[in-house]
Amino acid sequence: MAIADILFGRPLATKEERAEKIGPLAGIPIFGLDALSSAAYGPEAALTLLIPLGAAGVAYILPITAAILGLLLILYFSYRQTIAAYPAGGGSYTVARENLGDGAGLLAAAALMIDYVLTAAVGISAGVGALVSAIPGLQQHTLAICLSILLIVTVVNLRGVREAGVAFMIPTYLFVGCLFIMIGVGAVKALAAGGHPVPVEPLPRMPPTTAVVSLWLLLKVFSSGCTAMTGVEAVSNGVKAFREPTAPNAQRTLTIIITILMVLLGGIAWLASVYGIGATDPVKNYESVLSMLLRAIAGRGVFYFVSIGSILLVLSLSANTAFADFPRLCRIIARDSYLPHSFASTGRRLVYSNGIYILALLTGGLLTLFGGVTDRLIPLYAVGAFMAFTLSQAGMVRHWMRQGGGWHNIVVNGTGALATGITTVVVLTAKFLDGAWVTVLLIPLMLAVMIWVRRHYDAVAAETATEEGVDFRDVQDPIVVAPIAGWNKVTQGALRFAYTLSNEVRAIHISAGDETEDLFCQSWTELAVSPARAAGLPPPKLVVIDSPYRLLLTPILHYVLQVEEENPGRQIAVLLPEMVERHWYHYFLHNQRAEILKAWLLIKGNQQIILVNVPWYLRA
Amino acid sequence: MAIADILFGRPLATKEERAEKIGPLAGIPIFGLDALSSAAYGPEAALTLLIPLGAAGVAYILPITAAILGLLLILYFSYRQTIAAYPAGGGSYTVARENLGDGAGLLAAAALMIDYVLTAAVGISAGVGALVSAIPGLQQHTLAICLSILLIVTVVNLRGVREAGVAFMIPTYLFVGCLFIMIGVGAVKALAAGGHPVPVEPLPRMPPTTAVVSLWLLLKVFSSGCTAMTGVEAVSNGVKAFREPTAPNAQRTLTIIITILMVLLGGIAWLASVYGIGATDPVKNYESVLSMLLRAIAGRGVFYFVSIGSILLVLSLSANTAFADFPRLCRIIARDSYLPHSFASTGRRLVYSNGIYILALLTGGLLTLFGGVTDRLIPLYAVGAFMAFTLSQAGMVRHWMRQGGGWHNIVVNGTGALATGITTVVVLTAKFLDGAWVTVLLIPLMLAVMIWVRRHYDAVAAETATEEGVDFRDVQDPIVVAPIAGWNKVTQGALRFAYTLSNEVRAIHISAGDETEDLFCQSWTELAVSPARAAGLPPPKLVVIDSPYRLLLTPILHYVLQVEEENPGRQIAVLLPEMVERHWYHYFLHNQRAEILKAWLLIKGNQQIILVNVPWYLRA
């Protein structure tokens, strides 16, 4: 296990679970990376759609950002209440399901799952976008860099939540620090220059105007800008990960995250408009808006590269929010039997490994499909998030109505539900043809799968349900069948164990018909029959089956089925000796045959046939 | 399993093995593809090294091909004898091991395994070389095309040997037919033109002379040309695949393969020299020698494209020889315990799946590493093949000396051993720095692994060896521990089965401490205790363990270990109910927890703890 230990950290005993709890300082990077880092692609996504309006279009970013900040504030108050009301973890799924019913819950779940995959994909692609802005020669390797970063994030997350927090804390605070300095210096320069500062370095010229402004265009700009809000719900999903008192710690974390995010979004939009910085073509000679802003304000010096470095790190690792929350969400859904129960098992380091694998696969697929270009991913984004926001807030309204939580609470969450509901419709309409239709297709598909899984579990439960007690009449010893390849201590142990189960033991030996076989059969009396007689037990019966082509498994399988047929009602216990290795690399050397026989017996067998693994421990 | 069926064919029962035998007609494509197709890269590999000599250098191809044909003839007679002497399959490994000892056998095995990987890689890369000669626009996608072809070959081979033969028969015979027509027409034109025919189409001009001829250069040319001989041993490895009478059928196949190969090699070399066709740069504006020959003789018409098509198919699918023989070789080595025994198990369709997976992986790695360029792979090639040839022929000499096989036989194989031995030294020396050193490094590594595997199996055999009979004294019923989650038919069945094993049964229930738990405990008496008393059995003991964090596996594991400690010498049988699904996609829905518990019990447990899988069959 040594290699796995280095990669994923030593396995944690389940007891250590309590220690893996975090406070706000660690909570901001873990649950805030997505929200904060979206400052780096949200404004840019909006500005990209303003390109056709030319240099004059940049000014529209200010009113649109104002609308986005207003919406963000509404969301903040809504989610503060959710955290307080659901200290055990109030994800959209839980809140919608408990208050609005299973259907709404599943809808929220599907929307969120899609959203997390996009969070991971957009985070990574935008991070690589920052990198290729600084080093244009790397642009042709965009996809390869994206996938490498995905691999690193996956491995870090398989190590477990606390280490992931530590690994991401420094870049997050560096990122926030750099952007605050940029906004501060930029603000001073802008004010000193009377609102018309001169860039330190020449910037790419905006292309000429090719369109006129329209309400439709502004709606699309707003919809794209809304991607800056994704990730706000992360804290409320993960309340349980915080240390006591969990709810206040989580609320404090949310407050800090939202405050920072609003400063970043507002600052970037304002500086972009005063410097006249628009977006560039996302594929050819791409340079990110933040890269241009940094160059305009501070030039291409040490600060520029430190900032770009922190943006690269934070953006690509913002995928971590998805990696922290997606498996948690899957676990909650799996507990309600809408996803396979294996999603609810914790892995080596108390993280939900299955969820991580699935997320890594989907994200990798999406990045490959879209060549790692953020602009192509944006239209798919935000629909899921806002759908989940709406369901969650609507659920909270219902929650207060039931609980009698007071008008104040209902108004806060009602406003949230209304605002996000309208935004969902706007985003879906504005970006339907650009890619949002994928989400519209995926969600019913995911609903169908989740319902199918639940139906299956329900059917199994119904099939096995009973109110009756055990029928202990006519309990008979099983017939024990022990396949025996030759004489050794494993055989000895298996035969002795066989007699602890039953006095009716049959050893089955597959013979290729050569001399050593005759010797084996002759020694049988001495090795097994006589000792059994001496101990007063009925001796084991030796069944020798000729197999000229050296087939092993088929004759054993047939024999077991035949014994089962000849003894209706009797249980047949098949002994399968199993070598237990001391090193994982020994695994490939043993037990393959026993595994195949076991699988065959399960497939071809029936309720009467029981498989008994008799372990043999090899010395180290 | 429907998808797997379509891809790999329906699983074959082991009984059908006998039907999977072939005659010469199917044997030529299966075991001859590598040998025959090497006509397409062998002469070209030699000509590539003659490029520095300019137009005049092409003439040297004639004496070098003559030397190669002589060597090929010697090999032919050698291997004819091997087939006769080893009708059960006389691969270099078997022959060297039986006659020269284990060390020589393993050396041959390692050499052959390397050779098979290169056979697959070079076959595919050269095939794609033919394709990009005809369609130069595809040259930039060389690697992607190589890997796609590898995937197809792998899937076809996982379907099993007979179908692979049918799938490759048509291209092989088309390839041979096309090249025979080309050589025939070329010969007529050349003779009619008095030995100086005019090409139908203009050919690329040879670059100017940049070197003078030297013995060292000619040795390198010969070494590269020897790659045309690889694959000759395939038939002798696979004798068992032929139908009765196996040896004569295999010999007939070998005769046909060698005859065709000699005609192809001789014809291509002669025509290249009379048309003055040399090789082109292998990376920039590449065109294969056969493409130029076809254009020179017949022009770029229908015949050209049919021929190139057949070359593409045959060359890339020549990898099939490796896919037919590599798994067989692994199986033979695994039977001698030098490779994991799982290599000896047949897969779904009676092919040795593990060997196929390994070969596909290694070939893919090699193609990726060398960008799918044949010329870069050539220096690694041939060393392994000739090392194996030498060991095999030397082994045959020893065989005849032991068996008293007559001077004739000894001389034939002795000549073979001497000729291939000298060639091995020449190839190794001439190409050492160009890449043959990789082989020199790899072979000891592989020997070390094989010896380590064997030592492990020997150590296990020694550890478990015993001459003593079973000690049946004091055989006691096991203590049965049955983890129980709730009350259903699975629980019922498990409890009833528990009493067939022993009268000492303990049901262990993990409680989260809520109300439903109390209900379960109250009903226990009615459901289990009373029926047991009524049947005159000691009632099962219910052990309830509180687990506030809903951990399931740790408490069960601890309890089992504790029972084991309190009852020294007693066997503890842990019942693990297992859901048997009717569809493979149900697999993900069940048993994961039981699997984890089983793995934990095996790792943390000891010889006293036995795992009993109690299957529960779900309705379809």
Long-range CB contacts (within 8 A, 24+) of A25-29:
A25/A169, A26/A162, A26/A165, A26/A166, A26/A169, A27/A165, A27/A235, A27/A238, A27/A241, A27/A242, A27/A249, A27/A250, A27/A253, A28/A172, A28/A253, A28/A256, A28/A257, A29/A165, A29/A168, A29/A169, A29/A171, A29/A172, A29/A173, A29/A320
In angstroms, the CA A420 to CA A414 distance is 10
Angle between helices B592-604 and B553-566 in degrees, nearest 10: 40
Amino acid at B385: A
pLDDT score of A3: 45
DSSP B599: H
- Three-state DSSP class for B580? strand
Pick from A174-183, A200-209, B262-271: least confident: A200-209
Q: Once rounded to an integer, what is the mean pLDDT over residues B93-111? A: 92
How do residues B480-489 score in pLDDT, each as one tens digit? 999 888 888 8
Q: What is the DSSP string of A62-101?
A: HHHHHHHHHHHHHHHHHHHHHHHH-TT---HHHHHHHHH-
Amino acid at B314: V
pLDDT score of B516: 66
What whole-number percentage of chain B has pLDDT above 70?
90
Q: Is B513 left (phi over 0), alpha (psi -120 to 50) or beta?
A: left
Long-range CB contacts (within 8 A, 24+) of B60-67:
B60/B213, B60/B218, B60/B221, B61/B269, B61/B272, B61/B273, B62/B269, B62/B270, B62/B273, B64/B218, B64/B221, B64/B222, B64/B225, B64/B269, B65/B225, B65/B265, B65/B266, B65/B269, B67/B222
Q: Which of A136-140, A155-159, A305-309, B427-431 has the highest mean pLDDT?
A: A305-309
Run of H or E residues at B372: none
**Res. B164: pLDDT tops 60:** no
Cβ contact, residue pair B340, A592, below 8 Å: yes
Q: Give the ranges where A135-281 is alpha helix by DSSP (H).
A: 142-158, 161-192, 215-225, 234-237, 246-275
**Res. A6: pLDDT tops 50:** no
pLDDT score of A349: 45
In angstroms, the CA A98 to CA A101 distance is 6
In angstroms, the CA B261 to CA B35 distance is 7
What whole-number percentage of chain A has pLDDT above 70?
90
pLDDT score of A396: 92
- Which of the pair, A138 or A30, is modelled with greater confidence? A138
- Three-state DSSP class for A574? strand
**Considering Cα of B215, then B217, then B218, then B223, what sign does the dihedral take?**
positive
Interface of B with A in 140-169 (CB under 8 A): none
In angstroms, the CA A597 to CA A590 distance is 13
What strands lie across the sheet with A541-546, from one edge to the other?
A541-546, A505-511, A479-483, A572-580, A609-617, B609-617, B572-580, B479-483, B505-511, B541-546
pLDDT-derived band at A398, boundaries 50, 70, 90: very high
How do residues A242-254 score in pLDDT, each as one tens digit? 888 888 999 999 9
Interface of A with B in 391-420 (CB under 8 A): none
pLDDT-derived band at A521, boundaries 50, 70, 90: confident
B571 touches chain A (CB under 8 A): yes
Average predicted confidence (pLDDT) for chain A? 85
A245, A59 Cβ separation under 8 angstroms: no
- Residue A154: count of CB within 10 angstroms of its CB: 19
How do residues A120-143 score in pLDDT, each as one tens digit? 999 999 999 999 999 988 888 888
Residues 6+ apart with CB under 8 A from B293: B182, B186, B268, B271, B272, B275, B277
Residues 6+ apart with CB under 8 A from B245: none
In angstroms, the CA B152 to CA B175 distance is 19
**Res. A392: pLDDT tops 60:** yes
How do residues B220-255 score in pLDDT, each as one tens digit? 899 899 999 888 888 887 788 888 888 899 999 999
Cβ contact, residue pair B477, A500, below 8 Å: yes
**Res. A4: pLDDT tops 70:** no
pLDDT score of A250: 92
Cβ contact, residue pair A473, B535, below 8 Å: yes
Query: What are the beta bridge partners of residue B545?
Result: B510
**Res. B470: pLDDT tops 70:** yes
Q: Least CB-CB distance to B588: which of A342, A579, A588? A: A342
A501, B571 Cβ separation under 8 angstroms: no
Name the one residue in this structure whose structure tokens are 């948690």.
Answer: A328
Angle between helices B383-403 and B407-431 in degrees, nearest 10: 160
A296, A199 Cβ separation under 8 angstroms: yes
B284 touches chain A (CB under 8 A): no
Q: Is B569 left (phi over 0), alpha (psi -120 to 50) or beta?
A: left
Residue of B nearest to A490 (CA): B464
pLDDT score of A2: 42
Provide the shortest C-alpha distance from residue B463 to chain A (in Å): 8
Torsions phi, psi of A357, nearest 5?
A: -60, -50
Residues of B in Cβ contact (< 8 Å) with A457: 589
- Residue A544: count of CB within 10 angstroms of its CB: 15
Could you check whether the bond before residue A43 is cis, i.e. omega within 30 degrees of 0? no
Provide the shortest C-alpha distance from residue A132 to chain B (in Å): 24
Q: Once rounded to an integer, what is the mean pLDDT over residues B411-429? A: 91
With 0-12 CB in 10 A as exposed, 13-18 as middle and 19+ as buried, what is A193? exposed
CA end-to-end span of chain A? 14
Residues of B in Cβ contact (< 8 Å) with A616: 464, 607
Interior CA angle at B112 toward B106 and B116, to 5°? 145
Closest CA to B326 of B169, B553, B91: B91
- Which of the pair, A17 or B385, is modelled with greater confidence? B385
pLDDT score of B348: 45
Closest CA to A34 of A376, A323, A367, A380: A323
How do residues A496-510 score in pLDDT, each as one tens digit? 889 988 889 999 988
A176, A307 Cβ separation under 8 angstroms: no
**Res. B161: pLDDT tops 70:** no
Q: How many residues are there in chain B?
A: 620
B460 touches chain A (CB under 8 A): yes
Q: Which of A183-192, A333-342, B143-152, B518-527 has the highest mean pLDDT?
A: A183-192
Pick from A12-26, A512-526, A577-591: least confident: A12-26
Q: Is B278 left (phi over 0), alpha (psi -120 to 50) or beta?
A: beta
Q: Which of A209-218, A340-349, B85-94, B179-188 has the highest mean pLDDT?
A: B179-188
**Res. B38: pLDDT tops 70:** yes
Residue of B nearest to A547 (CA): B15
Residues 6+ apart with CB under 8 A from A298: A182, A185, A200, A304
**Res. A13: pLDDT tops 70:** no
Cβ contact, residue pair A571, B497, below 8 Å: yes
**Res. A515: pLDDT tops 70:** no
pLDDT score of B548: 62
Q: Once rounded to an integer, what is the mean pLDDT over residues A154-160? A: 76
pLDDT-derived band at B433, boundaries 50, 70, 90: confident
**Res. A593: pLDDT tops 80:** no
- Which of the pair, B243 or B186, is modelled with greater confidence? B186
Q: Give the ranges where B465-552 is alpha helix by DSSP (H).
A: 489-501, 515-524, 530-534
Interface of A with B in 326-385 (CB under 8 A): 340-342, 345
**Res. A448: pLDDT tops 90:** yes
Q: Least CB-CB distance to B589: which of A456, A476, A537? A: A456
A380, A438 Cβ separation under 8 angstroms: yes
pLDDT score of B158: 77
How do residues B290-333 score in pLDDT, each as one tens digit? 999 999 999 888 999 999 999 988 887 787 778 877 888 888 88
**Res. A228: pLDDT tops 50:** yes
**Res. B13: pLDDT tops 60:** no
pLDDT score of B487: 86
Q: Once rounded to an integer, what is the mean pLDDT over residues A519-541? A: 87
In angstroms, the CA A521 to CA B413 distance is 43
pLDDT score of A338: 92
In angstroms, the CA B31 to CA B237 distance is 9
pLDDT score of B587: 63
**Res. B8: pLDDT tops 50:** no
Q: What is the reported pTM?
A: 0.69
DSSP B399: H
Residue of A nearest to B606 (CA): A617
Q: Once rounded to an integer, what is the mean pLDDT over residues A314-334? A: 82
Provide the shortest C-alpha distance from residue A146 to chain B (in Å): 20
Provide the shortest C-alpha distance from residue A482 to chain B (in Å): 14
With 0-12 CB in 10 A as exposed, 13-18 as middle and 19+ as buried, what is A163? middle
**Res. A163: pLDDT tops 70:** no
In angstroms, the CA A456 to CA B69 distance is 67
pLDDT-derived band at A144, boundaries 50, 70, 90: confident
How do residues A76-103 score in pLDDT, each as one tens digit? 999 999 998 988 877 888 899 999 999 9
In angstroms, the CA B79 to CA B232 distance is 8
